[in-house]
Structure 1
Amino acid sequence: MMTLKIGGATVNQIPFDWKNNSENIIQAIEEAKRQQIKILCLPELCVTGYGCEDMFLSDWLSERAKHEIDKFINYTADITISVGLPIRIGNTTYNGACVISNKKILGVTLKQNLANDGVHYEPRWFEPWQPGKVVEIYIGSEVVQAGDLIYHAEGISFGFEICEDGWRKTRRPGYRLKERGVQLILNPSASHFAMGKSLLRESEVVMDGSRMFNCVYLFTNLLGNEAGRMIYDGDIIIAQKGKLLAVNERFSFKSYNVLSCQVDFSNPQHSETITLTDSKDKNEELSKTLALALFDYMRKSKSRGYVLSLSGGADSSICAIFVAEMVQRGVKELGAEAFTKALSLEKPIAHWKDAVSQILACAYQGTKNSSDTTLHAAKTLADSIGARFHQWTIDDEVNSYTKKIENTIGRSLTWDTDDITLQNIQARSRSPIIWMLANINRAVLLTTSNRSEGDVGYATMDGDTSGSLAPIAGLSKVFILQWLRWAEKTLGYAGLAPVNNLQPTAELRPLERNQTDEADLMPYPLLAEIEHHAIFQRKSPLQVFDSLKGQHDPTALKGYIKKFFRLWTINQWKRERIAPSFHLDDLNVDPRTWCRFPILSSGFSEELMLLDNTV
């Protein structure tokens, strides 16, 4: 046995962007060789990108990916690497990890367990590989083994668990690898970000895996906002026989990161232990992941920045702060010149606010129902981060639409009879002009609806939901409000003070009616509790009541539960039309990535009757 330097390399890829992906892989290999790494694990499907969707069903994608392997072979003198790619056998696609050592392909391990929950739909594209099965395939003109393999290199034996393989409690390939005497398990992954998930990876996949299988365990994740919705944190984790040895600093703005560790396979107490500096605090995680997600979205979409309808409320304010965080963190890590080049900014920057002024344009679109306090909050925040700030009123547009419909129906609209109509026309009147600003700037228009609003449809279609990216649609209002207070105090965004002193309100009714979100809906903390039981745990109305009745007034609780289920049911069509959003938490109501629900249904009619009849 021997001491061996092993490592993981995370890479920021783009679906079937062969030049970008291969350059990142090659640069990572070269960096690994500079660090004298002997065995290097790169992430799952890093050759093509994980987010190729139905392109995985094609013949050409897998064939082209195999051609890319030729580019890596010449860089593997004195190093063993694994790279992820789809493998097409007949008319079936498998998810593979190709091992190359000293310019020779040793084989391809094929994934045995496919992710089919939450945001993952792998069985749509791939077939699971049968344990113990090995076949021969061609890569170029070379015949190589593929399937359930173990490998021998640098004096040790190693095998694979590919992403979901490591999450299965009873069907993990690691059990069989242990029986076959492997000393190292590599886990190349495309494990999507969710707040708090990294701790589970460390404990349940890597540390438990290394302990149960009596081995060294190396996990390597993808990095960045690869394809639009999923974000990867660039986690690299190394453990030995239950002990954590090294963890990567996640959420890098660089195209690749490499983490190495000197491991003594004979005497684990002599293995290198690297100081852990990666923060697992959820507020910090959110800051980092949204900063990186917005950075990647802007550069990969080739847009010129972001446009935001800044109301002075919490939701639009948090979107503005995330753009500022993107700039601050990106400039700090990459340097001003490299950051400017990455985003194709037109002017050099001397201060991070110089970059924000080029990237973010905000507009306060007031009506006679808007207050001076929200205008002050919006302007104070925009000025504090250097964003361009515009303001105008839309009363003329609202009045024009209102008069036209009044003439058509032959009566006046009033707040007593036409409340929703009069609210919605204000939100919708804001949409065309903010889209104009986005088009002129060649920028991405951000929508500001949060997950709590998505639950109950508290948003105006073609109004405040207008836009091409919904960065906070995966966050609850409760989390947003506490994060803004944290950001003011911890991150030093003093411009948030006026925002944090306001009570959430849509400001669509006349000011004298004192409209607030919670008066329209229910207390946000209770909405979040009902959401957790009803949507995340999929409980019936009566089960939700039984779970919460000891904590709230029963009569009021029944009313709020009925309101939640009624609004949830009738507003599925809105959730179907929400702009693409980032997955940020274990719970997500986006029907395209997590929570599917029928547009037409009974509306829980019988279930709500049971709730009415319970004591």
Structure 2
Amino acid sequence: MSSIKIACATLNQTPLDWKGNLEHIKTAIKEAQLEKADLICFPELAITGYGSEDLFLSYWFPQKAVKQLQKLLPFCGDITVAVGLPIRIQEKVYNCVAIIENHELKGFVAKQFMAIDGVHYEFRWFTPWEANKTTSFDFFGKDIPLGDIIFEKNGFRYGFEICEDAWRGDVRPGYRLKDRGVHMIFNPSASHFAMGKTKQREELVRKSSQLFNATYFYINLLGNEAGRMIFDGEIMVADKGKLLLKNELLSFKDHQVQYFELGDAAKGLAEIKSESNKNEEFVQAASLGLYDYLRKSKSKGFVLSLSGGADSSTVAILVAEMVRRGIAELGVSVFLNKLGSSYIPQSENSEKEIVGQLLTTAYQASDNSSFATFQSAKNLAESIGAQFKHWEIGDEVKGYTEKIEKAIGRRLTWKTDDIALQNIQARARSPIIWMLANINQALLLSTSNRSEGDVGYTTMDGDTSGSISPIAAVDKYFIIKWLKWAEKSLGYPGLEKVNGLQPTAELRPSDNQQTDEKDLMPYAIIVEIERLAIRDRRSPLDVFLILNEELEIESGTLKDYIKKFFRLWSRNQWKRERLAPSFHLDEFNVDPKTWYRFPILSGGYEEELKELDNY
């Protein structure tokens, strides 16, 4: 065999952006041609974007994707191109990779297994292809083979496992590819980001190269493609069980191309040893997610109700990091140009200046707000360069309260009307912060976290208001620890006051000494119950039996916490149904549109909780 130079290209695509998506592909092909690459492989569904949802079910959408493929042929001279798109054959749609060589379409490989867990609902759109089966597809009057096919280039035989295909154990296509004697296996993927997930992928790629005695290529999509899922753009190459190439993840660029040469050039390459840091992964993914959401929604910036507490401060830092990281990678002019902004920084400190252009914050004080949280919010906003505004909502709260008191004929008291008096403060903040967002043509950032989503510790049409909820998939216990890490490791001294505060809603009078954990339970306990109840889908009794062994906590207290969690969880599903769109950042989330579906009305675990009482 001779040598072969492979290009692996990740792309940041957008559903229905036909022109932009095709330009990204063409630009990457041109780069690979200049580098004398023999073959370039793109991610899964690169032509349309993976997140096209029910567009895949239409007739016209797959047809237009095929027309885009036809437009690509003239740009594929002296190179082989593997690019993903949907293919409709009569009533069924298949997730395929098209192989083009020297301007000519050679064939389609169809995905054999559908991802149906967590954030994925592929069976809704695609039909799995049958192993060893082939057919033909009419490509503008020419019959093109489609199905379970392998190809050859420069004496190297190669085949494909498309994303989920590789995660199906003993039935995965790789075993049949090995029997056919392939030298290379490509895995074009649309694998969503989750903290810590890259380690799982590394293990898969290493083992696959050894198991199938082939060089294994993994190529993932990049960026916040369609709103919720973020793709990290991971590219990896492994051979004989060793990881030999791995790129920098979560780039702000429209595409990245990495190269790997098989043959003598690959001999003696050192194995790559990579490390992952959950704190760093979180800020990388969330800041890129915010950047893509901002530019793809064509909004002018962000507005944030900055309370001085942990959640809103986290969101503010993520916006600052979006600017810092975007400028560092793209440069000021490209960063702003991609946002559609013509702004030209006037000072040397362009980072803080741009944050000031993109982020407006407001502290909205009620009668129960403290000077400590005001100082915390003001200090943080000024330290990152954000605009800071503040006002009081006492008159609005008083107006609403007096109207309802007159209507019902009695005074409201904290003893009898605690929840109503708390919620009206949170809701009174919403109309005016939305007004500011509308004036600025900006996205309103919601600050709910996953722990609050679990138990409904959030006010609908209050602190849940927003266009996007960046941290709704992350638990509060992680956020509290992350803020301390961010203060020191990312260099944000403005977080010092935030990290010195006890998390509190500040909705009751100050003599109540309200705290979140006093209202609920320790956040560390919520995380443990949530892990078993939601991620692992355990019953209340199972949760108790496991945690009673793992945690040093009195059994009766633990039972009370578990009962409280399950009752609040089932009672507040309607709130989770109405939360603003959120990024998928952790191994699981509680968004019913992307991970965990639960009935809005239910029996509320009453029988299961009685079992717990009787144990």
- TM-score tier, shorter chain, comes to over 0.9
Query: C-alpha separation between the residues in 2 aligned to 1:75 and 1:153?
Result: 19
Deviation digits for residues 181-237 of structure 1 (CA, Å, limit 9, x no counterpart): 000001100000000111111112x11111100000101000000000000000000
Residue aligned with 2:171, SS = coil
1:42–1:82 Cα contact (<8 Å) kept: yes
Query: C-alpha separation between the residues in 1 aligned to 2:34 and 2:277?
Result: 33
Deviation digits for residues 540-587 of structure 1 (CA, Å, limit 9, x no counterpart): 111000001132210100000000000001000000000000000112
2:80–2:102 Cα contact (<8 Å) kept: yes
1:444–1:468 Cα contact (<8 Å) kept: yes
Show structure 2 runs of 5+ residues with no match.
none
Identity of aligned residues (%): 57
2:185–2:216 Cα contact (<8 Å) kept: yes
Question: What's the offset of the Cα at 1:273?
Answer: 4.8
Write the letter of the residue equivalent to 1:458.
Y
Q: Is 1:19 matched up with 2:19?
A: yes
Q: Is 1:515 matched up with 2:511?
A: no
Could you tell me which residue of structure 1 aligns to residue 240 of structure 2?
Answer: 241
Could you tell me which residue of structure 1 aligns to residue 251 of structure 2?
Answer: 252
Could you tell me which residue of structure 2 aligns to residue 342 of structure 1?
Answer: 338
Question: What's the offset of the Cα at 1:139?
Answer: 1.8
Alignment of 1:103-142 (within 5 A): 103-142=103-142
Instruction: Report the CA distance shift for 1:130/1:152 in structure 2 as closer, same or farther (over 3 A).
Output: same
Could you tell me which residue of structure 1 aligns to residue 218 of structure 2?
Answer: 219
Write the letter of the residue equivalent to 1:103.
H
Give 1:331's match in structure 2, choosing from 322, 327, 348.
327
1:306–1:361 Cα contact (<8 Å) kept: yes
Query: C-alpha separation between the residues in 2 aligned to 1:290 and 1:520?
Result: 29
Give 1:300's match in structure 2, choosing from 296, 301, 310.
296
Question: What's the offset of the Cα at 1:71?
Answer: 2.3
Query: C-alpha separation between the residues in 2 aligned to 1:114 and 1:38?
Result: 30
Query: C-alpha separation between the residues in 2 aligned to 1:522 and 1:45?
Result: 44
Could you tell me which residue of structure 2 aligns to residue 429 of structure 1?
Answer: 428
Could you tell me which residue of structure 1 aligns to residue 458 of structure 2?
Answer: 459
Name whichever of 172-181 and 75-84 sits farther off: 75-84
Deviation digits for residues 322-350 of structure 1 (CA, Å, limit 9, x no counterpart): 00000000001010111111112342124
TM-score normalised by structure 1 residue count: 0.98
Deviation digits for residues 470-509 of structure 1 (CA, Å, limit 9, x no counterpart): 1000000011111111100100011000000100000000
Could you tell me which residue of structure 1 aligns to residue 40 of structure 2?
Answer: 40
Could you tell me which residue of structure 2 aligns to residue 602 of structure 1?
Answer: 603
Write the letter of the residue equivalent to 1:495.
G
Residue aligned with 1:284, SS = helix
Q: Is 1:579 matched up with 2:580?
A: yes
Residue aligned with 1:74, SS = helix
Write the letter of the residue equivalent to 2:38.
K
Alignment of 1:472-551 (within 5 A): 472-550=471-549, 551=551
Question: What's the offset of the Cα at 1:269?
Answer: 6.4
Give 1:270's match in structure 2, choosing from 267, 281, 292.
267
Q: Is 1:84 matched up with 2:80?
A: no
2:243–2:271 Cα contact (<8 Å) kept: no
Question: What's the offset of the Cα at 1:353?
Answer: 0.7
Query: C-alpha separation between the residues in 2 aligned to 1:108 and 1:273?
Result: 34
Alignment of 1:55-454 (within 5 A): 55-204=55-204, 206-264=205-263, 270=267, 272-273=269-270, 280-349=276-345, 350=348, 351-454=350-453
Residue aligned with 1:8, SS = strand
Deviation digits for residues 349-402 of structure 1 (CA, Å, limit 9, x no counterpart): 241111100100000000110000000000000000000000000000000000
1:246–1:273 Cα contact (<8 Å) kept: no
Could you tell me which residue of structure 1 aligns to residue 558 of structure 2?
Answer: 557
TM-score normalised by structure 2 residue count: 0.98
Question: What's the offset of the Cα at 1:3?
Answer: 2.2
1:262–1:271 Cα contact (<8 Å) kept: no
Query: C-alpha separation between the residues in 2 aligned to 1:456 and 1:502?
Result: 22
Deviation digits for residues 399-450 of structure 1 (CA, Å, limit 9, x no counterpart): 0000000001111000011000000000000000000000000000010000
Query: C-alpha separation between the residues in 2 aligned to 1:338 and 1:587?
Result: 34
Query: C-alpha separation between the residues in 2 aligned to 1:59 and 1:354?
Result: 48
Residue aligned with 1:55, SS = helix
Question: What's the offset of the Cα at 1:249?
Answer: 0.8
Query: C-alpha separation between the residues in 1 aligned to 2:103 and 2:479?
Result: 51
Question: What's the offset of the Cα at 1:142?
Answer: 2.2
Question: What's the offset of the Cα at 1:133?
Answer: 0.5
Query: C-alpha separation between the residues in 2 aligned to 1:207 and 1:122?
Result: 26
1:263–1:271 Cα contact (<8 Å) kept: no
Residue aligned with 2:562, SS = helix
Question: What's the offset of the Cα at 1:16?
Answer: 2.0
Deviation digits for residues 283-340 of structure 1 (CA, Å, limit 9, x no counterpart): 1111111111111001000000000000000000000000000000000101011111
Question: What's the offset of the Cα at 1:78?
Answer: 1.7
Query: C-alpha separation between the residues in 2 aligned to 1:523 and 1:57?
Result: 46
Deviation digits for residues 46-65 of structure 1 (CA, Å, limit 9, x no counterpart): 10111110010011111111
Question: What's the offset of the Cα at 1:140?
Answer: 2.1
Query: C-alpha separation between the residues in 1 aligned to 2:372 and 2:67?
Result: 60
1:66–1:140 Cα contact (<8 Å) kept: no
Residue aligned with 1:52, SS = helix
2:159–2:177 Cα contact (<8 Å) kept: yes
Write the letter of the residue equivalent to 2:325.
R
Query: C-alpha separation between the residues in 2 aligned to 1:279 and 1:248?
Result: 13
Query: C-alpha separation between the residues in 1 aligned to 2:85 and 2:67?
Result: 11
Deviation digits for residues 79-131 of structure 1 (CA, Å, limit 9, x no counterpart): 11100000000111000000011111110000000000000000000000000
Question: What's the offset of the Cα at 1:275?
Answer: 6.0
Point out 4+ residue stretches in structure 1 off by more than 6 angstroms: none
Query: C-alpha separation between the residues in 2 aligned to 1:154 and 1:478?
Result: 54
Write the letter of the residue equivalent to 2:95.
N
Residue aligned with 1:253, SS = coil
Query: C-alpha separation between the residues in 1 aligned to 2:21 and 2:342?
Result: 26
1:152–1:158 Cα contact (<8 Å) kept: yes
Write the letter of the residue equivalent to 1:180.
R
